[in-house]
Amino acid sequence: MDSILVTGNGPLNGQIPIAGAKNACLTLMPATLLSEEPLTLTNAPRLSDIKTMTQLLQSLGAEVSSLQDGQVIAMSSHDLTSQTADYEIVRKMRASNLVLGPLLARFGQAVVSLPGGCAIGARPMDLHVEGLEALGADIELSDGYLHAKAPGGLKGAVHEMRFASVGATENIVMAATLAKGTTVLKNAAREPEIVDLVECLRKMGAQISGEGTSTIEIQGVDRLHGATHQVVTDRIELGTYMLAPAICGGEVELLGGRMSLVESFAAKLDAAGVSVTETEKGLKVARKNGRVASVDVVTEPFPGFPTDLQAQMMALMCTAEGTSVLEERIFENRFMHAPELVRMGANIEVHGGTATVTGVNQLKGAPVMATDLRASVSLILAGLAAEGETTVSRVYHLDRGYEHVVRKLEGVGAKIERIKGQ
């Protein structure tokens, strides 16, 4: 099994290109199931999760081709052979559940395994099911599979979600595009990935308004056509690399970055003493003066502080002056990186959904183990700022969400290498 060796090497300087958003691309790919005509995505990230979604779509009979070194994905669902998403593929990645709404809307039936993914909480499917049932679907759970039927087609409805779930919003919106009549989805999630999905669906002929707000209205249409769409910039990769010069010093420009994607995160960095400025090419990040200051963080749905940047922010707070409190309100079990940071000399106390971090002058390199996708990159960030060598094992998690992480960090002066497993 591969590992990554990081050696603390001082300030970072240069440019890092930011890829298309993993979470957006994984949502856009199932949209091909809504139409017989081709859907092409550009600016696609080159990640193992994208390969998993490709395998899932192909298992349903879709044609999926990776072009231009993986940055273009060409898809066609004109001749699907199955409406069953098998456990052996779905278990690898939670986003696999996003085929449920499109299959149900187009074919009136779908059988989808309960999903897997990172071990950061239960993340049940109940919000997805409630929304689709509001559109007239009949859904039963049997032997670990959701069996969904809508033989007369889905019908528009007014539905208010109990929680602003991103995945449930995406599934319901896609399903509603082919439902009869108007659907009004209240307490909808507002993330940029949802806005990106709606923009793509609109290019395919969907009639949708209100994306980016808590109320989305969808007027169902009889059919959707093909389209070409550019995947939005990955705000989580952007935020992650914004933390590299914050924790190491130096000045790094993130190519393709947009402030509108990370406003709440950038505000926390500013409060900690990190400058974030817009440039013609993206965002430039540098520490203002010396050691960063501690700040408190509460994870919230967009536009609040992203849960997917909590682990990385904790790494920064480990070396901040003072004590910070990080409260996780989105997922349980999302502090599994804390004990690994403690192995590097961090001072962290975890009580339930709250972590109290007292900054130390210097982290020390140590062998550590990644427990999930975002935890893995938080340990790399900590290693960049640590004295000596840090070996991060189980980095297969990393490949799910960050393309060419070693190359990108080496490009700004980091001393980092990937060690191939035996």
| 94 annotated as ligand-binding | yes
Closest CA to 389 of 367, 406, 407, 405: 367
Coil/strand/helix, residue 211: coil
Phi-psi region of 17 (alpha: psi -120 to 50; beta: other; left: phi over 0): beta
Q: Is 234 among the annotated ligand-binding positions?
A: no
* Residue that the structure tokens 């790399």 belong to: 380
289 is in an annotated binding site: no
106 is in an annotated binding site: no
Q: Report helix, strand or coil for 260.
A: helix
- All residues at 6 or more sequence positions from 378 whose CB lies less than 8 Å from its CB, including other chains: 311, 312, 314, 315, 337, 341
**Are the beta carbons of 38 and 395 closer than 8 angstroms?**
no
Give which of 197, 244, 184, 142 is closest to 23, Cα–Cα: 197
CA distance 242 to 239: 5
Q: What are phi and psi of 274, to 5 degrees?
A: -120, 130
Beta bridge partners, 111, equal: 84, 147
Residue 308 marked ligand-binding: yes
Apex 306 CA angle, 376 and 296, nearest 5: 95
On whether 86 is known to bind a ligand per the annotation, the reply is no
Is 123 annotated among the ligand-binding residues? Answer: yes
The answer to whether the annotation marks 127 as part of a ligand binding site is: yes
Residues 192-195: contacts with CB under 8 Å, at least 24 apart: 192/21, 192/24, 192/232, 192/235, 192/260, 192/261, 192/302, 193/21, 193/23, 193/24, 193/27, 193/166, 193/232, 194/27, 194/166, 194/169, 194/170, 195/232
Which residues fall within 8 angstroms of residue 387, CB to CB, at 6 or more apart?
8, 362, 363, 364, 365
Burial of 415: CB neighbours in 10 Å, binned 0-12, 13-18, 19+: middle
Is position 75 annotated in a ligand binding site? Answer: no
| Six token digits for residue 45 | 């990230």
Calculate the CA 52 to chain-centre distance: 15
126 is in an annotated binding site: yes
Task: List C-alpha distances in Å: 69 to 5, 42, 174, 392.
Answer: 27, 11, 28, 28
- Residues catalogued as catalytic: 118
Give the pairing type, strands 138-142 and 109-113: unpaired
Q: Residues annotated as binding site for phosphoenolpyruvate?
A: 22-23
| Known binding-site positions for UDP-N-acetyl-alpha-D-glucosamine | 94, 123-127, 308, 330
Task: Extract the annotated binding site.
Answer: 22-23, 94, 123-127, 308, 330
